[in-house]
A and B are shown apart, each in its own frame.
Chain A
Amino acid sequence: EVQVVESGGGLVQPGGSLRLSCTTSGFALSNYRMSWVRQAPGKGLEWVANIKEDGSEMNFVESVKGRFTISRDNAKSSLYLYMNILRDEDTAVYFCARDRVAYSSGYAKAPYFDNWGQGTLVTVSS
C-alpha cells in the first residue's frame, strides 16, 4: 500500500524558515517525480514545487521562486521542502504528492497527482 506522510509544520514568524519532510513507503521513490501542493485556509489547491526522479531538475511556482527549495533522498524514501523568508501568504496545509506525468507529441504535460499525504499545517504569523 502506498503511503505518504508529511511532517515538520508549525508556527513560524514572518521572515523565518521551516523544513518540511515527506516520508514515503509502498513504492520505489526513485521511480517517481514528486511534488508539494498547498492549500491556504478557505482556498483551493496550489501546486508549489516538484522534483525529478533523480533530483536533477526542480520546478517552482512563481510566488516561491528564490525562497523555497525542494530536495529528495531516494535511499531514505524521503522528500523535503525548505522554506525561507516566509510570508503571511505562505500559511497553508502543505501536501506531499506523487506525480503522474502524461506526454503529448513527446513533451511532458504538467503533473497530476495519484497519491497524496494528509498534509502538515504551516502558519506564518507574528
Chain B
Amino acid sequence: DIQMTQSPSNVSAFGGDRVTITCRASQSISRWLAWYQQKPGQAPKLLIYQASRLESGVPSRFSGSGSGTAFTLTITGLQPDDLATYSCQQYHSHPGTFGQGTKVEI
C-alpha cells in the first residue's frame, strides 16, 4: 500500500495568516490526491481533488498543488472557521490511503 505522510502534525497560526500543509507519498501518485477538512464532531468534507481542483462550494482561500510524490494544501488568509484537521488521501491505487492528519489551531 502507498504510505502518505503529512507535515506538520500541528500548526498554530493567526487569523489572516497563510498556512501550508505538506503531504508526501511513498511512490508517485501523479495528481491523484484529495484533501479533506474535518471539524471536531463533524463529517469530513472534501476540499480538493486531483491535487488542485477545488470542490464546488469550497472557499477560494483553499488551494492545492503538487504532483508525483509531493503535494501542498495552502490556506491563504486563515479564518476562525478553518479550525480543523486536514487530511490528504491518494487514490492512484487500491486501497486508497490517507495521511495521519494536520491539526490547524488559530
Instruction: Assess the B96–A111 pair: CB atoms within 8 A.
Output: yes
Chain B 40-67 interface residues, beta-carbon cutoff 8 Å to A: 41-46, 49-50, 55
Instruction: Assess the B89–A45 pair: CB atoms within 8 A.
Output: yes
Interface residues on B, range: 20 to 34
Instruction: Assess the B49–A116 pair: CB atoms within 8 A.
Output: no
Instruction: Assess the B43–A117 pair: CB atoms within 8 A.
Output: yes
Which residue of chain B has the shortest Cβ distance to A48 in the bound complex? B95
Contact A118:B41 (CB < 8 A) given known A45-B98, A109-B32, A110-B96: yes
B12 at the interface (CB under 8 A from A): no
Partner of B87, one of A44, A97, A102: A44
Docked pose: A116 CA to B44 CA in angstroms: 6
Instruction: Assess the B32–A116 pair: CB atoms within 8 A.
Output: no
Query: Which of chain B's residues have a CB closer than 8 A to the CB of A112?
Result: 34, 46, 49, 89, 91, 96
Contact A44:B93 (CB < 8 A) given known A102-B50, A112-B46: no
Query: Which of chain A's residues have a CB closer than 8 A to the CB of B96?
Result: 47, 110-112
Contact A110:B91 (CB < 8 A) given known A44-B101, A100-B49: yes
**16 A-B pairs whose Cβ atoms sit less than 8 Å apart in the complex:** A43-B100, A45-B87, A45-B89, A47-B95, A47-B98, A102-B32, A102-B49, A109-B91, A109-B92, A109-B93, A110-B96, A111-B91, A112-B96, A115-B46, A116-B45, A118-B41
Closest 3 pairs (CB-CB, A-B)? A110-B96, A116-B43, A44-B100
